[in-house]
Amino acid sequence: MSGYPNDERYGHPLSPPPPADLYHYNQFNNPGPPPTTTPNPYPPNPYPVSQTPNPYPHSSTPNPYPPTTTPGPYQQPQQQYPPYPPSNQPSAQTYSTPNPFDRPPSTPYSITPSHSYQDPFSGQGTPATYPIQEEQTGYGYNQNQGRYSTPGVQLQDDGYVDVGREMDEQDHDTPLLNPHVDITPGDQGPDHEETNIHYGAIPQRQPRRYKTIKKVPLYHGNFVLDTPVPSKLLDMCALKNEREFTHMRYTAATCDPNDFLEEKYTLRQRLYDPPRRTELFIVMTMYNEDEQLFTRTMHGVMQNIKHLCERKRSKMWADGGWKRVVVCVVSDGRMKINSRTLSTIAAMGVYQDGIAKNIVDKKPVTAHIYEYTTQISVTPSMRIEGAERGTVPCQIIFCLKEKNQKKINSHRWFFNAFGRVLEPNVCVLLDVGTRPGPTSIYHLWKAFDLNSNVGGACGEIVADKGKFGKNLLNPLVAAQNFEYKMSNILDKPLESVFGYITVLPGAFSAYRYIALQNDSTGEGPLQKYFLGEKMHGADADIFTANMYLAEDRILCWELVSKLGGSWTLHYVKSAYAVTDVPDQVPELVSQRRRWLNGSFFAAVHSTVKFNYIYRSSHSFARKAWIHVELFYQTFNLLFSWFSLGNYYIAFVILTQSMGSLGPGVLKVLNTILNYFYLGMLVMCYLLALGNRPQ
């Protein structure tokens, strides 16, 4: 009888196996290598070989049905193979243990004991601990549904939240086979991908992908997590002795910005002993700007912090001046942020993918807050500069809002949420894409330091003219550059003398934080400023909706006329910032339509509400100067109302005077130009009825 395996997968019981299976069959059933010198502590064969005689001995009687040489019509030709040695021949080296079924089954999943690490900010009365309990579960891992967030955190009965981390099969501590059972080489062998056949014992479980559950306790009822930064980033840092350099702090905020402090949320600066004093609080509002615009602003801010720390004779900035500056980046909408910009922020260590949560304690997350003190700066050319180039550490708060709720909501997070925690002295407002000068922030801060009555200040806004002024070849850029120069040379210095500047540009301005606070009744500059967040819907009338298109003008007027206050606004010529200006007609029309409507109605509001100036505590001389400015602003308001007709009258007078100097051809040409002017005005009016200039 043939020695081939009697298996149904080979078809006929006596048919030979396929060549690939025959090769593996021979490989795992031949006698093994010679025994090693190490003695085997176990008996060579714990199970005695049966002595029962073979019920089917080999008979010497010839086969009455010898195989025919000629195959029949339903018979396949059979190839002759040499006899194969019997499979029950003992191997030269065996590995065996006692019967695995005599012992209780082992737990297939191990539970790692919980561990804790020290609070990142020691010295508190009750040090906060972040014990993390890791437990491997058998549930399959679901891929993240959000773009940059992981599945929601579910609150357990013990007050912990689960943070899932994906694990591959190689990372699991439970192997496929029972480690206590050793099998002979003839019974267990490697899998062969080319034949898709598995040899050996049956696996104890099916290979799967698992996740590790980390149970993190809620910190004062809030989800706060410290995660180490990548080692490659840490290698580029000069300072590695503090936790603020080695760990990033993540907080999932589930409340409104106005309730941030009441919900017991906090920031790193308040957890030090003693808490750090924040002198400068800089906010950078962002929507979907690319990495070039972001690095332009961020690198400019880092250069300003470097300049502050270089002032060795200053009592404020000489020793550890960077600890008194906090930079807050607020991105408007998690799904709106540019992916390359987010990668740049992650390269600085302020963001890590995969730790954000959508739900905490069955409450949706409204903002993801990342805190880290970075020691590197990314230039607009995407080069990394560290301590070798003089870069100093910078405390950064990255607030990634879950929904897109406009710029004014980003400022509400800055003032009402983070500002109430840090209580800074001066707040600087920047737009991503605006690059401040290397010393501009210092000059703005110096204006507040020299005069305690200064409640707000601004610098010069410079249009980006490009390399060698090539952008000025565009007429739109050249016209806006001329307008900015006239405003910075004539308007703002004159208004600064009176003490009231009609508008501090939101792209580059600064305010004293205490001057913006509301009074005991809840009314004040910030309260009026944030009314604009809800004034763009159906609840607002036409006048109010147009007025809040320029909410920064409302803030300036409310600050100067604040009840019981004597705050003034100043213009700082030595502080400047370079910004991009629209270079296409649709962008320019969209911007100017908003500016013209907002400025006109805001001017009407300040003129009508001029009596508010009498509730302030300004001196008699200051109020007199503000009265002079009232007449100046009223004249500008009337001039802007009649400016459309004034420009047309000036055009007609000039063309008629030129026609009287020449032949009749010029008169015909001037008539055509006059009608063309009127036609363009009518067309602009009709186009303005739409809401999409693009």
Each residue of 198-211: pLDDT tens digit? 677 777 766 666 66
pLDDT at site 466: 86
Task: Select the more confidently predicted residue: 638 or 54.
Answer: 638
Q: What is the largest CA-CA distance in the chain?
A: 139
Alpha carbon distance 97, 269 (integer Å): 60
- The reply to whether 149 falls in a domain is no
Which of 435-439, 575-579, 637-641 is predicted with the least confidence, judged by mean pLDDT?
A: 637-641
pLDDT tens-digit profile of 248-273?
Answer: 999 999 999 999 999 999 999 999 98
- The reply to whether 277 falls in a domain is no
- The reply to whether 682 falls in a domain is yes
Please write down the HEC assignment for all residues of 408-444. HHHHHHHHHHHHHHHCCCEEEEEECCCEECCCHHHHH
pLDDT at site 324: 95
pLDDT at site 165: 43
Q: Nearest Cα to 455, choosing from 520, 414, 510?
A: 510
Alpha carbon distance 188, 477 (integer Å): 77
| Identity of the amino acid at 194 | E
Q: What is the band of 29 on the pLDDT scale with cuts at 50, 70, 90?
A: low
pLDDT at site 392: 94
- The reply to whether 62 falls in a domain is yes
Q: Which residue has the tokens 């700007």?
A: 289
Peptide bond into 274 cis (omega under 30): yes
Domain that holds residue 679: 644-688
pLDDT at site 163: 56
**Helix, strand, coil percentages for the chain (3-state, nearest 5):** 35, 15, 45
Question: Alpha carbon 586 to chain centroid distance?
Answer: 30
| Token code pair at residue 373 | 């003190």
φ/ψ of residue 252, rounded to 5: -100, 105
Q: Is the pLDDT of residue 486 over 80?
A: yes
pLDDT tens-digit profile of 78-124?
Answer: 444 445 444 444 444 444 444 444 444 443 333 333 333 344 444 44
- The reply to whether 85 falls in a domain is yes
| Token code pair at residue 571 | 């213009």
How many domains does the chain contain in total? Answer: 2
Catalytic residue list contains 552: yes
Alpha carbon distance 15, 234 (integer Å): 65
Number of DSSP helices (H) and strands (E) in the chain, helices first? 17, 18
Residues 6 or more apart in contact with residue 540 via CB below 8 angstroms: 534, 548
Sign of CA dihedral 436, 438, 443, 449: positive
Which of 101-115, 270-284, 463-477 is predicted with the least confidence, judged by mean pLDDT?
A: 101-115
Q: What is the band of 693 on the pLDDT scale with cuts at 50, 70, 90?
A: low
Alpha carbon distance 81, 63 (integer Å): 19
Q: What is the band of 592 on the pLDDT scale with cuts at 50, 70, 90?
A: confident
Q: What is the band of 23 on the pLDDT scale with cuts at 50, 70, 90?
A: low
pLDDT at site 211: 63
Are 129 and 119 in contact by the 8 Å Cβ rule? The answer is yes
Q: State the average pLDDT for the chain.
A: 77
Task: Select the more confidently predicted residue: 448 or 48.
Answer: 448
Alpha carbon distance 551, 565 (integer Å): 20
pLDDT at site 217: 80
Task: Select the more confidently predicted residue: 486 or 76.
Answer: 486
What residues does 331 pair with on adjacent strands? Answer: 286, 400
Task: Select the more confidently predicted residue: 209 or 589.
Answer: 589
* DSSP codes, 316-330: TTTTTGGGGEEEEEE
Which of 126-140, 469-483, 542-556 is predicted with the least confidence, judged by mean pLDDT?
A: 126-140
| Pairing mode, strands 280-286 and 325-331 | parallel
What residues does 394 pair with on adjacent strands? Answer: 374
How far is CA 587 from each of CA 483, 504, 584, 591, rounded to the nearest angstrom? Answer: 17, 22, 6, 6
pLDDT at site 361: 84
pTM: 0.70
Residues belonging to the chain: 694
pLDDT at site 1: 45
Alpha carbon distance 514, 420 (integer Å): 10
Which of 57-71, 539-553, 577-591, 618-632 is predicted with the least confidence, judged by mean pLDDT?
A: 57-71
pLDDT tens-digit profile of 286-320?
Answer: 999 999 999 999 999 999 999 999 998 888 898 88
- The reply to whether 547 falls in a domain is no
pLDDT at site 168: 39
Q: What is the band of 690 on the pLDDT scale with cuts at 50, 70, 90?
A: confident
- The reply to whether 17 falls in a domain is yes
Best-predicted range by mean pLDDT (78-82, 505-509, 545-549): 505-509
| Identity of the amino acid at 64 | P
Q: What is the band of 529 on the pLDDT scale with cuts at 50, 70, 90?
A: very high
Q: Is the pLDDT of residue 18 over 60?
A: no
- The reply to whether 166 falls in a domain is no
320-326: average pLDDT: 93
pLDDT at site 662: 63
What stretches of 218-277 adopt beta strand conformation (E)? 223-228, 247-253
* DSSP codes, 445-463: HHHHHH-TTEEEEEEEEEE
Q: Which residue has the tokens 């502080």?
A: 575
Which of 122-126, 350-354, 437-441 is predicted with the least confidence, judged by mean pLDDT?
A: 122-126
Q: Nearest Cα to 452, choosing from 425, 430, 429, 427?
A: 425
Q: Is the pLDDT of residue 167 over 50?
A: no
| Token code pair at residue 686 | 């009709």
pLDDT tens-digit profile of 213-241?
Answer: 677 788 888 899 999 999 999 999 999 88
Residue in 162, 226, 332, 552 annotated catalytic: 552
Which of 391-405, 427-441, 615-629, 679-693 is predicted with the least confidence, judged by mean pLDDT?
A: 679-693
